């Protein structure tokens, strides 16, 4: 097994050196498929792959890893750093290498259940690869999906396996404020869209501070503001956009409504109008309770420290799978010494390839146990 893991680390370096952006992952998928050596599988979601290993019987258990990188110029300085303007700054290279090691090992065994291997494209961004996998009917015959993700907000050496909601729903919003533009030397003749938008941006902080139960939480963040084309012209239009993240469906609905109410009413106070557009993104990622509890037990038996409480307001389109089959997202703690996710300096240690592999194996083994929600809920509590 140590020799196999060493080869998987080499694969990780190869993948890290040549990342591909969403929609362009065919070479990445081919590299991983060729390394695993179990056939070419089926093309899914345009640039992904789905492969299968036979088992004794029953529905398949899937392991999933993401193929895409991010549009970043890497700043790690390692010999195998990317130089093509993209970067595996979210650990997808580690996930792929860990999954590939599991598959190579599993191919030498008589498996109790079939293993489906899902190399998913387009996890980053709004054009969800997971949604396409589902829409293409690729979950047919699959009973559970397991994934692992490196996480610098979890302590090094700890694996977070949390029952229930673990990642937030993430939606985007866009607010366009319209007024009456004109000459900046005559402010009494205009309805200032920039001033109104500025008040809207500040007022949107109410969404998290005053409108949602603080024990559940919400993160409403304005991340872009755009207006005007000249220093001495008051523009007729100004816009902002951002994200809103929630952990409960009812809070998601409330947040959408409140964003609209705040934007329109505040803009009206400045003699302007506001148009709000909200685009749905990923849903809440909810881990199957029984699957999470049993996976945590197996990882503990393997000698890993397990945290059953970690939750994050990050989002992942893996959440879409969890709405159709039993799903489990495990977080492998890397600590913060190597930077954070989506950071040009983020570089998890090669040792996490083996940890990701352990997490996927534990998830597969846990899925062999039929779901028993009542017992699992009691044990999780």
> Alpha-carbon distance 58 to 38, whole Å?
20
Domain containing residue 190: 169-282
Domain containing 36 — which CATH number?
3.40.630.10
Which residues neighbour 253 within 8 Å (Cβ) at sequence distance 6 or greater?
none
- Among 282, 315, 346, which residue terminates a domain? 282
Same domain for 13 and 128? Answer: yes
Q: Residues 2-10: what's their mean pLDDT?
A: 95
Three-class secondary structure assignment of 204-241: CCHHHHCCCCCCCCEEEEEEEEEECCCCCEECCEEEEE
Given a cut of 80, whether residue 223 has pLDDT beyond it is yes
The predicted pLDDT at position 247 comes to 94
The predicted pLDDT at position 381 comes to 42
Given a cut of 60, whether residue 253 has pLDDT beyond it is yes
Tell me if 48 sits within 8 A of 135, measured CB to CB.
no
pLDDT band per the 50, 70, 90 thresholds, residue 362:
very high
Q: From residue 187, how far is each of 178, 192, 290 by CA, in Å?
A: 16, 8, 63
> Alpha-carbon distance 243 to 175, whole Å?
11
Given a cut of 80, whether residue 171 has pLDDT beyond it is yes
| Neighbour tally for 21: CB within 10 Å | 18
Same domain for 51 and 143? Answer: yes
Same domain for 202 and 180? Answer: yes
Chain-centroid distance of CA 33 in Å reads 23
Tell me if 332 sits within 8 A of 176, measured CB to CB.
no
> Alpha-carbon distance 38 to 307, whole Å?
34
Q: What is the mean pLDDT of the chain?
A: 95
Same domain for 84 and 38? Answer: yes
- Among 246, 261, 282, which residue terminates a domain? 282
The predicted pLDDT at position 374 comes to 39
Kindly state the percentage of the chain with pLDDT values over 90: 91
pLDDT band per the 50, 70, 90 thresholds, residue 2:
confident
Give the residue with greater pLDDT, 46 vs 214.
46
In the block, residue with structure tokens 């060493």: 6
Least trusted range by pLDDT, from 105-114, 156-165, 362-371: 362-371
Same domain for 263 and 293? Answer: no
pLDDT band per the 50, 70, 90 thresholds, residue 1:
confident
Q: Residues 119-145: what's their mean pLDDT?
A: 95
Same domain for 234 and 288? Answer: no
Structure tokens belonging to residue 131: 């949604």
Task: Give the residue among 23, 164, 15 at the shortest CA–CA distance from 88.
Answer: 15
Q: What 8-state DSSP symbol labels residue 159?
A: E
Task: Please tell me whether residue 178 adopts helix, strand or coil conformation.
Answer: strand
Give the residue with greater pLDDT, 223 vs 339.
223
Given a cut of 60, whether residue 83 has pLDDT beyond it is yes
Which secondary-structure segment (H or E) carries 148? strand 142-151
Which tens digits make up the pLDDT trace of 190-222?
Answer: 999 999 999 999 999 999 888 888 888 899 999
Pairing of strands 273-282, 169-178: antiparallel
- In sequence order, the β-bridge partners of residue 50 are 42, 118
- Among 214, 249, 282, which residue terminates a domain? 282
Given a cut of 50, whether residue 141 has pLDDT beyond it is yes
The number of folded domains in the chain is 2
> Alpha-carbon distance 20 to 71, whole Å?
9
Same domain for 196 and 72? Answer: no
Pairing of strands 115-120, 305-307: unpaired
pLDDT band per the 50, 70, 90 thresholds, residue 376:
very low
| Neighbour tally for 185: CB within 10 Å | 8
> Alpha-carbon distance 54 to 197, whole Å?
58
Same domain for 128 and 52? Answer: yes
Same domain for 8 and 152? Answer: yes
> Alpha-carbon distance 325 to 369, whole Å?
14
Same domain for 57 and 154? Answer: yes
Which secondary-structure segment (H or E) carries 130? helix 129-135
Given a cut of 60, whether residue 378 has pLDDT beyond it is no
Given a cut of 90, whether residue 53 has pLDDT beyond it is yes
Give the residue with greater pLDDT, 249 vs 34.
34
Crossing angle of helices 289-301 and 373-380, in 10° steps, is 60
Tell me if 5 sits within 8 A of 101, measured CB to CB.
yes
Task: Please tell me whether residue 255 adopts helix, strand or coil conformation.
Answer: helix
The predicted pLDDT at position 371 comes to 65
The predicted pLDDT at position 240 comes to 98
Q: Residues 313-327: what's their mean pLDDT?
A: 96
Phi and psi dihedrals of 29, rounded to 5?
A: -60, -40
Q: From residue 247, how far is each of 28, 282, 331, 364 by CA, in Å?
A: 33, 11, 17, 26
Domain containing 269 — which CATH number?
3.30.70.360
Q: Residues 362-366: what's their mean pLDDT?
A: 98
Single pTM value for the model: 0.90
Same domain for 149 and 292? Answer: yes
Q: What 8-state DSSP symbol labels residue 33?
A: H
Q: What 8-state DSSP symbol labels residue 87?
A: B
Tell me if 12 sits within 8 A of 28, measured CB to CB.
no
Task: Please tell me whether residue 84 adopts helix, strand or coil conformation.
Answer: coil
Tell me if 175 sits within 8 A of 274, measured CB to CB.
yes
Given a cut of 90, whether residue 365 has pLDDT beyond it is yes
| Neighbour tally for 350: CB within 10 Å | 16
Q: From residue 234, how far is each of 174, 256, 264, 266 by CA, in Å?
A: 21, 29, 20, 19
Same domain for 358 and 307? Answer: yes
């Amino acid at each position: 097994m140590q020799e196999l893991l060493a080869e998987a680390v080499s694969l990780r370096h190869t993948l890290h050196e040549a990342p591909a952006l969403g929609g362009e992952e065919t070479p990445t998928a081919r590299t991983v498929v060729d390394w695993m050596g179990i056939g070419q599988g089926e093309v899914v979601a345009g640039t992904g792959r789905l492969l299968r290993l036979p088992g004794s019987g029953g529905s398949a258990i899937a392991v999933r890893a993401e193929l895409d990188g991010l549009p970043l110029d890497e700043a790690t300085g390692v010999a195998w750093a990317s130089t093509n303007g993209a970067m595996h700054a979210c650990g997808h290279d580690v996930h792929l290498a860990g999954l590939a090691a599991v598959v190579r090992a599993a191919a030498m065994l008589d498996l109790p259940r079939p293993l489906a291997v899902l190399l998913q494209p387009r996890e980053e961004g709004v054009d969800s690869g997971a949604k396409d996998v589902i829409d293409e009917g690729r979950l047919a015959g699959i009973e559970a999906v397991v994934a692992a993700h490196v996480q610098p907000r979890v302590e090094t050496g700890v694996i977070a396996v949390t029952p229930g909601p673990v990642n937030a729903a993430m939606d985007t919003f866009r607010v366009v404020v319209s007024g009456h533009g004109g000459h900046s030397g005559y402010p009494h003749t205009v309805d200032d869209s920039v001033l109104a938008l500025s008040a809207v941006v500040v007022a949107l902080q109410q969404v998290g501070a005053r409108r949602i139960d603080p024990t559940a939480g919400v993160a409403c963040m304005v991340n872009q503001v755009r207006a005007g084309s000249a220093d001495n012209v008051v523009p007729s239009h100004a816009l902002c956009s951002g994200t809103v993240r929630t952990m409960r469906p009812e809070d998601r609905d409330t947040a959408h409504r409140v964003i609209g109410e705040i934007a329109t009413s505040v803009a009206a106070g400045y003699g302007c109008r506001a148009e709000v557009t909200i685009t749905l993104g990923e849903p809440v990622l909810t881990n199957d309770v029984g699957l999470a509890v049993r996976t945590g037990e197996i990882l503990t038996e393997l000698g890993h420290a397990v945290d059953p409480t970690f939750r994050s307001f990050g989002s992942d389109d893996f959440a879409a799978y969890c709405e159709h089959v039993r799903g489990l997202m495990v977080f492998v703690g890397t600590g913060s010494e190597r930077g954070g996710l989506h950071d040009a300096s983020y570089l998890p240690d090669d040792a996490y390839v083996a940890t990701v592999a352990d997490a996927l194996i534990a998830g597969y083994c846990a899925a062999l146990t039929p779901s028993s929600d009542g017992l699992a809920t009691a044990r999780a509590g």
